[in-house]
Amino acid sequence: MNEVINVVKRGLFVGRFQPVHNGHLKALEFVFSQVDEVIIGIGSAQASHTLKNPFTTSERMEMLIRALDEANLNDKRYYLIPLPDINFNAIWATYVVSMVPRFDVVFTGNSLVAQLFREKGYEVIVQPMFRKDILSATEIRRRMVSGEPWEDLVPKSVAEFINEIKGVERIRMLATNLEKNEKELQAPIRIPEF
Amino acid sequence: MNEVINVVKRGLFVGRFQPVHNGHLKALEFVFSQVDEVIIGIGSAQASHTLKNPFTTSERMEMLIRALDEANLNDKRYYLIPLPDINFNAIWATYVVSMVPRFDVVFTGNSLVAQLFREKGYEVIVQPMFRKDILSATEIRRRMVSGEPWEDLVPKSVAEFINEIKGVERIRMLATNLEKNEKELQAPIRIPEF
Amino acid sequence: MNEVINVVKRGLFVGRFQPVHNGHLKALEFVFSQVDEVIIGIGSAQASHTLKNPFTTSERMEMLIRALDEANLNDKRYYLIPLPDINFNAIWATYVVSMVPRFDVVFTGNSLVAQLFREKGYEVIVQPMFRKDILSATEIRRRMVSGEPWEDLVPKSVAEFINEIKGVERIRMLATNLEKNEKELQAPIRIPEF
Amino acid sequence: MNEVINVVKRGLFVGRFQPVHNGHLKALEFVFSQVDEVIIGIGSAQASHTLKNPFTTSERMEMLIRALDEANLNDKRYYLIPLPDINFNAIWATYVVSMVPRFDVVFTGNSLVAQLFREKGYEVIVQPMFRKDILSATEIRRRMVSGEPWEDLVPKSVAEFINEIKGVERIRMLATNLEKNEKELQAPIRIPEF
Amino acid sequence: MNEVINVVKRGLFVGRFQPVHNGHLKALEFVFSQVDEVIIGIGSAQASHTLKNPFTTSERMEMLIRALDEANLNDKRYYLIPLPDINFNAIWATYVVSMVPRFDVVFTGNSLVAQLFREKGYEVIVQPMFRKDILSATEIRRRMVSGEPWEDLVPKSVAEFINEIKGVERIRMLATNLEKNEKELQAPIRIPEF
Amino acid sequence: MNEVINVVKRGLFVGRFQPVHNGHLKALEFVFSQVDEVIIGIGSAQASHTLKNPFTTSERMEMLIRALDEANLNDKRYYLIPLPDINFNAIWATYVVSMVPRFDVVFTGNSLVAQLFREKGYEVIVQPMFRKDILSATEIRRRMVSGEPWEDLVPKSVAEFINEIKGVERIRMLATNLEKNEKELQAPIRIPEF
């Protein structure tokens, strides 16, 4: 019995999902095809209500659940794990490992994530991103702010959820609110750099 | 489609699971019988390698996955969410809400958890615990330290996992190590209390 | 007696006050006219000695005390509450509520503050700002750095205090010191964003 | 004008106020008699809903406001400042100084507070406590838990407020809830101590 | 040239040093005899002014410098590294590794430190402690509080330094100050433990 | 004996050392010539694997050790102290003082460091930087990213070490990885600024 459990192969995939979009789905489809169970880490889990991180972790989980249901990726078991930032890259991979179920391989399109896990000896599979020019959360948030169409870049159920929670209004409010002075540099300690 | 998703009823259950035992299983069986999906919050997620919190969150998740498989509670969807302590009770319930999928009701046998969620307006169902005298993680850890039998108090798959990771040896090491001086009071700021 | 206390109406106003200026005073005059007691939250309370946040909380409190005395707004009771950043927007309003006396209404000219409190069910009154182009702390700090006149934009007692503590010299030092490299992006964890 | 403000003498008094009682009032009466304005620091401001710290900072502020009104100590200006713990004694006094208005003297009955401020060069006046055996928050919380009379040890308005918010029920719930296992030692890192 | 540097063998030794005593010196003599350079990690570096951690990191460094000079252990290079607690055992060893120069072996008499480093694959040499009954910092602090002789248990230069900084007075003050109520349990979040 | 120790004069020098370069060496040569022992504080010690802070504290310590050996500055005793950011400028100098051995004077080319220590009453010697246009870590990191020669700007042993750990590849990876969206403003709390 135990042996059967032990041979379950798990893959880890980390993203911010601000919001979930079709590029995430493409990537997740590949991950689901390679392993028995998928751990989805939700990065910057403490962040929300900013232009770069408009949605809460709770909302991002809801998007993932609906998108995976819509894509029929729910026949395999997956785990949704919030990962609040620790702002300490040298120990980040060890921190993630302590907070998620045991896994066998990391899937990522991000070279820093790849490097941080490789430095700790994990197998990493780098995925080329599909149509990264438009299938990026940044592009989607930009369209939301400027009033351009964005719905086709995300799963239908995610678009519906974002409309339910008035997500576009929230992002526009955040964009309006951001005054010039907020863009000034914050340089908290500023020790000498010769 | 979307409407169907919306009527899914979710329950939240929070524990430390140090380790998972038959009392947890009894309680979870009840929760699974009441809702469509179960959110299992793993408290003190940052803690491990102490007498009170010997196991990492990753290990506790493994115990939960195996125990729920063994109990055939895996036909309903469940979520495993690490909840690192924030040491700020007045905002704890709001913090939990932001870190887990939307839920409808809290199940707990702990009156503080009940109160913190009720103060924020959540429905809370208090569960009487079954044989709390022996079905407590404290009692199990005590038996592990003193060399008494403990295996019958936890699911079979959990006992196997604890043996795999040499969990009893770890707890005994922690008990040995704890010198008297460690038990002195730590009183970090100690402002006047007249 | 108690009943009288209970009918006291309190308003909350949150700002960074870097530094206190005539726009703040205009806004506070309105708040003082609407409620019995005013709670003034001092945001980013841990910040000082940066271009965006040059003054300590202690100094900002001193400015507020003097400005309110000068404006004869001291006949009503007010509270000065430091609010260190928590960098967790989803729980920020709950955090503020736990740290200040009970209040009835929030006054703000900032749409994010408005939204965060409304999401938690508080009454929020949005105030249009008076001459926001010049009556902004950003503009005042810019003038201080560039050597342009700024004194007319703040209460007389605040200008005196800033001169007492050599505040303009401090801001200029901070502006000089800020080397190009400090403006590089800090991207602490950088998880994948497809 | 400015000169007048500058000669205002301020005293700092720090307490946890769990809850406010007649001993606090006696001490505050003395402080109010010695200075022009009083800064009341509320220590362990992040703590609530524990046996040692049952009340939130917001509730403790309400108690102070009502008690000072009842004692007619409200003719002088006072400041209520939340002081979350930093668990770093060597910098605690400097931290407090940055978070409160400028002050001239510290009043305290606690020798650690006295020492930490004296080490940084502040004038400290040590107050002998009045009837410390019964006028202590610890004794009052003990009476609340055990069902003994406590109301006479606190100002009338504070007793009323505690009853309004069902404070005694909260403390009893906290006492009931505290299982034996919670009393085990937490020894987070435990580095060698030979 | 570079090759020569690379063959330098370094050992890591971690302690709290509250205060430095003859048992530490015995242990350090052994470590100095085994490696070319010694890294001395000062644990709980943020702690001071408590009964268990009376001295600041700065003071503990001064004790170490003087004791190593007195013992003529200063012919080999050593490093003094403050290690503030992170309260996250699962990542503690990785954290230490990122904060100290590269090392080859860990020396410790503490089985938890041994385990945490072994779990990350480091070589650990466990040292039996010499006369642990009296050569313990706990025993020395106990003697300081009760007025018994302690000077013979620490290096002469350390005793002189503690007297210089009035360390015994500080510990006695801390012992006096510790009221009964401070000894109550703090149970910050208290999630269910069945 | 003790008296001799007491007259040791120590200087504090704080830098980020990302990476160590010839300008640092010039500055350190001056510091070593002025005092008996040198404390080298390594700022932003928690940072690594970012464009601005590519190297871990452990790696930066290795660079310093090799560079000081190469420059024969190792005849005097020096201390390498990691200083994680606290993001609280008003208490930063006090924090540093608690974490390093007692010192007599601060050497810095950074006017903020100078001011923060002067505000706390320390003697500060400001050093003009030598050829700051090219001898800056920013310029060196820029050259590494763009493929221009940088080796002549750092000590030979540091260039060798950076090549050993494939430091240039790491920086280029970080530069590649940094997507546009990462440059968006993060404005975590954004309280009103009129």
Strand partners, F79: F39
F16 and A179 within 8 Å at the Cβ level: the answer is no
Number of domains present in the structure of chain C: 1
Q: In the prediction, which pLDDT does D130 show?
A: 64
Task: Answer whether residue A74 shows pLDDT above 90.
Answer: no
Task: Answer whether residue A75 shows pLDDT above 90.
Answer: no
What number of other Cβ atoms are within 10 A of residue A21's Cβ? 24
- The mean predicted confidence, pLDDT, of chain A is 87
Instruction: Note the pLDDT tens digit of each residue in D41-90.
Output: 999 999 999 999 999 999 999 999 999 999 999 889 999 999 999 999 99
CA distance C90 to chain B (A): 6
Which residues of C are less than 8 Å from F178 in CB distance?
A: 185, 187, 190
Instruction: Note the pLDDT tens digit of each residue in F99-121.
Output: 999 999 999 888 889 999 999 99
Distance of CA D45 to CAs B191, C156, D66, Å?
A: 11, 35, 19
Instruction: Note the pLDDT tens digit of each residue in B124-134.
Output: 998 866 667 77
Q: In the prediction, which pLDDT does E193 show?
A: 44
* Beta strands A77-83 and A105-108, pairing class: unpaired
DSSP state letters, A131-149: STTTSSHHHHHHHHHHT--
**Which of D87, D129, D184 minimises the CB distance to B194?**
D129
Contact D51, D174 (CB under 8 A): yes
Tell me, what's the ipTM?
A: 0.89
Kindly identify which residue of chain E lies nearest to residue F98, measuring between CA atoms: E58
Contact F124, F105 (CB under 8 A): yes
Q: Whose CA is closest to F58, among A131, D106, B71, E99?
A: E99
CA dihedral over C44, C49, C52, C55, signed as positive or negative: positive
Tracing tokens 């339910």 back to the chain, one arrives at A164
What is chain E's pLDDT, residue by residue, as a tens digit (194 residues)? 444 455 799 999 999 999 999 999 999 999 999 999 999 999 999 999 999 999 999 999 999 999 999 999 988 999 999 999 999 999 999 999 999 999 999 998 888 899 999 999 999 998 866 666 778 899 999 999 999 999 999 999 999 999 999 999 999 988 886 543 343 333 333 343 44
Q: Whose CA is closest to B49, among E113, A40, F40, E75?
A: E113
Instruction: Note the pLDDT tens digit of each residue in B76-88.
Output: 999 999 999 999 9
Taking the CA of residue E10 as centre, how many other CA atoms within 13 Å lie in the half-sphere pointing to its CB? 18
Contact D149, D179 (CB under 8 A): no
Q: How far apart are CA D100 and CA D80, in angstroms?
A: 9
Helix pair angle (E137-146, E167-177), 10° resolution: 80
CATH number for E41 = 3.40.50.620
Q: In the prediction, which pLDDT does A6 show?
A: 58
Mean pLDDT within D156-181:
85
Helix (H) and strand (E) counts for chain A? 8, 5
Which residues of B are less than 8 Å from A58 in CB distance?
A: 97-102
Per CB distance under 8 Å, which residues of C are interface residues toward D? Answer: 1-2, 5, 45, 48, 56-58, 61-62, 65-66, 69-70, 74, 77, 79-82, 84, 97-102, 157, 160
Task: Answer whether residue A1 shows pLDDT above 60.
Answer: no
Burial code of A45-57, b = ≥16 C-beta within 10 A, e = fewer? Answer: bbbbbbbbbbbbb
**Which of C62, C100, C160 minimises the CB distance to D101?**
C62
Taking the CA of residue D134 as centre, how many other CA atoms within 13 Å lie in the half-sphere pointing to its CB? 9
Alpha carbon dihedral E83, E87, E93, E99, in 10-degree steps, equals: -30
Of the spans A134-148, F146-160, F172-186, which averages the highest pLDDT?
A: F146-160
CB contacts < 8 A, C to D, total 69
Q: In the prediction, which pLDDT does C111 show?
A: 84
Distance of CA B44 to CAs B24, C120, E72, E188, F117, Å?
A: 16, 26, 46, 10, 39
Return the amino acid letter for B51. Answer: L
Identify the residue among B177, B178, B189 best suited for mutation to test binding to E, counting E beta carbons within 10 A and taking the highest. Answer: B177
Instruction: Note the pLDDT tens digit of each residue in C104-116.
Output: 999 988 888 999 9
Report angle CA A26, A30, A31 to the nearest 5 degrees: 115
Contact C101, C79 (CB under 8 A): yes
Q: In the prediction, which pLDDT does E131 show?
A: 67
Domain that holds residue A51: 10-176
Confidence class for position C6, pLDDT limits 50, 70, 90: low
The 3-state secondary structure of D94-128 reads: HHHHHHCCCCCEEEECCHHHHHHHHHCCCCEEECC
Q: How far apart are CA C121 and CA C105, in angstroms?
A: 10
Confidence class for position C74, pLDDT limits 50, 70, 90: confident
Taking the CA of residue C131 as centre, how many other CA atoms within 13 Å lie in the half-sphere pointing to its CB? 12
Q: In the prediction, which pLDDT does F75 show?
A: 86
> What's phi and psi for F181, nearest 5 deg?
-60, -25
- The mean predicted confidence, pLDDT, of chain C is 87
Task: Answer whether residue A193 shows pLDDT above 80.
Answer: no
On whether residue C145 sits in a domain, the answer given is yes
On whether residue B76 sits in a domain, the answer given is yes
Instruction: Note the pLDDT tens digit of each residue in A86-102.
Output: 999 999 999 999 999 99
- What's F12's DSSP letter? E
On whether residue F46 sits in a domain, the answer given is yes
CA distance E161 to chain D (A): 17
Touching B (3+ Cβ pairs <8 A), the chains are: A, C, D, E
Distance of CA F66 to CAs A72, E39, E74, Å?
A: 57, 16, 19
pTM for the structure as a whole = 0.91
Confidence class for position C180, pLDDT limits 50, 70, 90: very low
Mean pLDDT within F21-45:
96
On whether residue E43 sits in a domain, the answer given is yes
Q: How far apart are CA F144 and CA F152, in angstroms?
A: 12
Distance of CA B6 to CAs B35, B103, D107, Å?
A: 13, 11, 58
Mean pLDDT within F71-90:
94
Q: In the prediction, which pLDDT does A134 show?
A: 76
Task: With H, G, I as helix, E, B as strand and everything else as coil, classify residue C169.
Answer: helix
Q: In the prediction, which pLDDT does D111 show?
A: 84
Kindly identify which residue of chain D lies nearest to residue B185, measuring between CA atoms: D185
Token digits for C122? Answer: 């508080």
Q: Whose CA is closest to C89, among E61, F120, A55?
A: A55
Mean pLDDT within A182-190:
34
> What's phi and psi for C31, nearest 5 deg?
-60, -45
Distance of CA B51 to CAs C25, D23, D192, F71, Å?
A: 56, 39, 16, 50
- What's B120's DSSP letter? T
Q: How far apart are CA F110 and CA F116, in angstroms?
A: 10
Distance of CA D193 to CAs B53, E16, E43, Å?
A: 21, 6, 10
> What's phi and psi for D61, nearest 5 deg?
-65, -45
Task: Answer whether residue C1 shows pLDDT above 50.
Answer: no
What number of other Cβ atoms are within 10 A of residue B13's Cβ? 26
What ranges in chain E are assigned the alpha helix state H?
Answer: 2-6, 22-34, 57-70, 89-99, 111-119, 137-146, 156-164, 167-177
Q: How far apart are CA D121 and CA D119, in angstroms?
A: 5
Residue C147, by phi and psi: left (phi above 0), alpha (psi -120 to 50) or beta?
Answer: left
Contact A68, A157 (CB under 8 A): no
On whether residue C192 sits in a domain, the answer given is no
Q: How far apart are CA C91 and CA B99, in angstroms?
A: 11
Return the amino acid letter for C187. Answer: A
Confidence class for position F151, pLDDT limits 50, 70, 90: very high
Mean pLDDT within D165-179:
84
Task: Answer whether residue F186 shows pLDDT above 60.
Answer: no
Helix (H) and strand (E) counts for chain F? 8, 5
Task: Answer whether residue F32 shows pLDDT above 80.
Answer: yes
Token digits for E76? Answer: 């080999």
**Which of B56, B92, B187 minimises the CB distance to E189?**
B92
Mean pLDDT within D109-131:
87
On whether residue A181 sits in a domain, the answer given is no
Which residues of B are less than 8 Å from E190 in CB distance?
A: 110, 112-113
* Beta strands A10-15 and A37-43, pairing class: parallel
Instruction: Note the pLDDT tens digit of each residue in A141-175.
Output: 999 999 999 999 999 999 999 999 999 999 998 88
Task: With H, G, I as helix, E, B as strand and everything else as coil, classify residue C13.
Answer: strand
Task: Answer whether residue D128 shows pLDDT above 50.
Answer: yes
What number of other Cβ atoms are within 10 A of residue B6's Cβ? 11
Contact B75, B115 (CB under 8 A): no
On whether residue E14 sits in a domain, the answer given is yes
E174 vs A35, higher pLDDT: A35
Token digits for B43? Answer: 């408290």
On whether residue F4 sits in a domain, the answer given is no
Touching E (3+ Cβ pairs <8 A), the chains are: A, B, D, F
Judging by beta carbons within 10 Å of its beta carbon (0-12, 13-18, 19+), is residue C146 exposed, middle or buried? exposed
What ranges in chain B are assigned the alpha helix state H?
Answer: 2-6, 22-34, 57-70, 89-99, 111-119, 137-146, 156-164, 167-177
Task: With H, G, I as helix, E, B as strand and everything else as coil, classify residue C82.
Answer: strand
Residues of chain B with pLDDT under 50: 1-4, 179-194
